[in-house]
Amino acid sequence: MLEALIIMVVKIGVVFGVLLLVAAYMTWVERKVIAAIQVRWGPTRVGPFGLLQPIADGIKLFFKEDLTPSQVDRTLFLLAPALSVVPAMIAFAVIPFGGTTTVFGLLSHPVALQITDIDVGVLYVFAVTSLGVYGIVLAGWSSNNKYSLLGGLRSSAQMISYELSLGLSIVGVMMIAGTLSLNKIVAAQSPVWFIVYQPLGFLLYIISAAAEVSRTPFDLTECENELVAGYQTEYSSMKFGLYYLAEYAHILVVSSLAVSLFFGGWHGPFLPPVVWFLIKVFIFIFIFIWVRATFPRFRYDQLMKFGWKVLFPLSLLNIMLTAVGVILFSR
């Protein structure tokens, strides 16, 4: 019992430590990739190749003056950043990033490389990540700023429009796997990755996921040419930094979920399972950054029409086609 408790605490500490480190260095990766696309240098001065730039940015945010405008709803204003970060963090509790290990024989029995496995893992991820929008809406409301309020309202409308398509896009995967457990879904892909059976579902998922995390071309909640900085306008110091941490943590969540649902999770030849998982997740992170540097932002009316008139009908079509396929090939 004590050994199991210690192992659980160690797994939680390692997973969240790595998550924070990766989320911080995603800022460096994004700046470097976009700089390369735009034929610039990007960070170069703080450490070799600018590798210490995220550390310097974090220290700067910690020591910058923390301003709280006089007319804000102080309680909600302070609570909102945490409401964005925490759901993204706890979503990783059910994401499998490897098979089992005895840590080079140090443990008496194999331990799963996953904090916990529950039968409704997919529902858990969608339930907790959908709470992140409350942090944005409350930030917009509590800031007592028209630009912040518009950003918060846009975020709530965008979440309703695209989370529906996001959820429906993975129904086909659950129908094929016959389970909601992420570990069992990954195990079901040992012979063939589900992207082979669900190309349309994957396309719908990745588009909806980009809108869910408010990434370009769906970043209408904070577009600087219309709303200054949207819901972040009145935030400063580390409260501002927490929103950036939440954004990159959400990107990691949707990327890890895409790998687990469509690309076989940690399965792969030759390399250790954890390495395969990290490689696949990094490819998705690169795609998110590449899209940001390539595509212009939607207008808001285009955003809503695309969600309801294109993605939603295609999600229903994908479910119908998957159901027909499951019935025909299960005979």
pTM of the model: 0.89
Strand residue runs (E) in 87-200:
100-101, 111-112
Residue 11 within any structural domain of the chain:
no
* Distance (Å, whole) CA 31 – CA 41: 9
Residue 154 within any structural domain of the chain:
yes
Residue 214 within any structural domain of the chain:
yes
Taken in order 80, 81, 87, 93, is the CA torsion positive or negative? negative
- 255-277 CB burial, b ≥16 within 10 A, e <16: bbbbbbbbbbbbbeeeeebeebb
Residue 325 within any structural domain of the chain:
yes
Residue 273 within any structural domain of the chain:
yes
8 A C-beta contact, residue 31 and residue 57: no
pLDDT in tens, the chain (331 residues): 677 777 788 888 888 888 888 888 888 888 899 998 888 888 888 888 888 888 888 888 888 877 777 787 778 888 888 888 888 888 888 898 877 776 666 666 777 788 888 888 888 998 888 888 888 888 887 878 877 888 777 877 888 888 888 989 999 999 998 888 888 999 888 888 999 999 999 999 999 998 888 787 887 777 766 677 777 777 878 888 888 888 888 899 999 999 999 998 888 888 888 889 999 999 999 999 998 888 888 888 888 888 889 999 999 999 999 999 888 877 6
Residue 95 within any structural domain of the chain:
yes
Domains held by the chain: number: 1
In the numeric block, the tokens 């089992």 are attached to 100
Q: Is 31 helix (H, G, I), strand (E, B) or coil?
A: helix
Residue 40 within any structural domain of the chain:
no
Residue 279 within any structural domain of the chain:
yes
Residue 167's domain spans which residues?
Answer: 63-329
> CA of 28: how far to CAs of 13, 16, 25, 46, 317, in Å?
23, 19, 5, 11, 39
